[in-house]
Amino acid sequence: MEFKKCDRCGCFFISEDNVCCNCKPKDRADTIKLHNFIEENGSAYSIEEISASTGITIKNLSRFGEIQNINGITEKREFKFNTNIEL
Ligand SMILES: [Zn+2]
């Protein structure tokens, strides 16, 4: 456990995660939204286009996938909360 700064709101917290407990549900909702978008539309979109369609900020999209090239997302990496999604 270490002292961290939340990637979303900037507050300090102690956790294994990259966001504080207030932001975790928001991050999770955004991640699910992103998954759904890619599942429905594929990943051949720019970050800007995905941001406009999903309402997820570009900053957060970048965090989720560390996106250099959004086209590579689905092949290259699992999203952070992928394994925790329970719908
Ligand atoms: Zn936060």
Residue 35 Cα to ligand 1 middle (Å): 21
| Residue-wise pLDDT tens digits, 42-65 | 877 888 888 999 999 988 988 886
- Please list all protein residues whose beta carbon sits less than 5 angstroms from ligand 1, which is an ion: 6, 8-9, 20, 23
Residue 47 Cα to ligand 1 middle (Å): 22
Give residue 66's pLDDT.
Answer: 54
| Residue-wise pLDDT tens digits, 6-25 | 999 999 999 888 899 999 99
pTM: 0.69
Residue 27 Cα to ligand 1 middle (Å): 9
Q: Is the pLDDT of residue 77 over 50?
A: no
| Domain segments of the chain as ranges | 23-84
14 - beta bridge partners? 3
Contacts of residue 61, defined as CB under 8 A and 6 or more positions apart, other chains included, come to: 34, 47, 50, 51, 67, 70
